[in-house]
Structure 1
């Protein structure tokens, strides 16, 4: 892509993303994620209606009366975007490719973060960490991230979510708010997800295309997998083939749901060709309601 085309695209995404973060997301983002960026300062006696999760059990045992921790909100958070750049994201049966939807969602999150004076960093991953942009503040930093999102060319087409999560766990020494943005065409990452979710405030953003879930009757079709780097002929006119594909997709979705639930990681699902505002707001509001 020519530099002038990249700049035009960056500008277009900047205008749309800043508008959404200004009008819709900044307040919701702040109230949804500020609770994990808190510093313990003192204790006081428990009062009716206090969050029992904030009880200081050591002080309570010492005085034989419940006490809760008082927190001061830290002035800033660190936000880390883990973005899947593997080959399966260069697909979309609707208006958008998965990677285009990921780019806009990541841009909105980045602008929401800097409006709250937060630092933003990015981990691009395939089956390895392709690039790490350390967290910083400022508009120029966000524009650099958007440009990388648009024009980044990964070395590998495969996916290893565990590798990205292990890098997050090791690279980010202090607790951060992290968004894992992927189509989750992978398996065996449950342990890494649980460990990263325990250390950091992690949310999963699952990007789905309708063809990930089912295939229509299109006759004999040549299907190509960028991740596997091979093509196969599939007889989609066969009901058995279509049913097997749908059954496999359903079992994979159940596996993912179980992995997220066991690890305690919040998840929002986004479908290509549909508006991403509603599920993103839904994630923020669900988190806010639990505060």
Structure 2
């Protein structure tokens, strides 16, 4: 499985067509983070020209239309309110792993890119915190392509290139992101949550107190199905060992069940929805399904 390149992430822009990042958070977040208000004022987006009435701002008079029609006409604008959308992308080196279509790290990158394109097309300001355990980088929210392209470049730069022991990457990213999030923001957390612990729980609680938050759990079938019968070699450089699938199968499944219970309990405590993304499905299919159906709480 080859690393993800920039061209691949750019192509995902087409898959974002007609998809939106739906808001399902508390009323406070929706009020502060709405895309547009019905209020008409001196905003960013031109809406229409109509005949001038008393009380209109003289600065908005359209002099060309006024001259052509012989009566004063004014320009109306629709005010835009751009919602900040933050992507937290956990590129733990242990996510350089995949048994089917793609690596877990590659799936996280593709999902982040597609979510960024969807948000940008919808008028949101897109920012990101990306970490690989060695480097944690913050890209402030910006509108349209100006917000997406730096994120894509950072994903390419920080993607893992070889397997390694797991690091507490999620914690580093949460510590960076939490102080930056304001009410009305949408935070999208992409991770395999393999190293999540009580400290991460506390940081996520602080994050959800200030913004709407959704979790995207990156998984691979080998994790929840276990090794089949047979002999295998597994691990990472410097720690490769022989494994008998039959001997470790039950232990493997028990470890997965504990992790699944941990992630589910975390989501329930914080009242968050969890979307499980598996390496067996192209990201367009997995996210399109989530974006077009109601959220299901974990």
Q: Which residue of 1 aligns with 2:221?
A: 210
Which one of the candidate residues 234, 239, 243 is aligned to 2:243? 234
Report the Cα distance in structure 2 between the residues aligned to 1:263 and 1:196, rounded to whole angstroms: 10
Q: Provide structure 1 residue ranges, at least 5 long, that are not aligned to the other structure.
A: 41-72
Which one of the candidate residues 249, 264, 271 is aligned to 1:257? 264
Which one of the candidate residues 92, 103, 107 is aligned to 1:86? 92
TM-score relative to the length of structure 1:
0.73
Q: What is the CA-CA distance between 1:277 and the residue it aligns to?
A: 4.1
Q: Which residue of 1 aligns with 2:294?
A: 286
Q: Relative to total residues, which structure has the larger helix share, 1 or 2? A: 1
In the alignment of these two chains, the number of paired residues is 243
Q: Which residue of 1 aligns with 2:111?
A: 105
User: Larger Rg: 1 or 2?
Assistant: 2
Q: Which residue of 2 aligns with 1:247?
A: 254
Q: Which residue of 2 aligns with 1:195?
A: 206
Q: Which residue of 2 aligns with 1:181?
A: 190
Q: Check conservation: 1:37, 1:74, Cα contact below 8 A.
A: no
Which one of the candidate residues 160, 172, 179 is aligned to 1:163? 172
Indicate the SS of the match to 1:201.
Answer: strand
Q: Check conservation: 1:130, 1:154, Cα contact below 8 A.
A: no
Q: What is the CA-CA distance between 1:274 and the residue it aligns to?
A: 1.3
TM-score relative to the length of structure 2:
0.71
> Cα 1:269–1:163, aligned 2, differ >3 Å: closer, same or farther?
same
Which one of the candidate residues 10, 14, 19 is aligned to 2:6? 10
Indicate the SS of the match to 1:134.
Answer: strand
Q: Provide structure 2 residue ranges, at least 5 long, that are not aligned to the other structure.
A: 34-78
Report the Cα distance in structure 2 between the residues aligned to 1:178 and 1:248, rounded to whole angstroms: 29
Q: Check conservation: 2:91, 2:133, Cα contact below 8 A.
A: no
Q: What is the CA-CA distance between 1:30 and the residue it aligns to?
A: 4.6
CA RMSD of superposed structures (Å): 3.1
Report the Cα distance in structure 1 between the residues aligned to 2:118 and 2:145, rounded to whole angstroms: 11
> Cα 1:146–1:117, aligned 2, differ >3 Å: closer, same or farther?
same
1:147-162 superposed matches below 5 A: 147-152=153-158, 158-162=167-171
Report the Cα distance in structure 1 between the residues aligned to 2:80 and 2:289, rounded to whole angstroms: 25
Indicate the SS of the match to 1:181.
Answer: strand
Which one of the candidate residues 17, 24, 27 is aligned to 1:22? 17
Q: Which residue of 2 aligns with 1:219?
A: 230
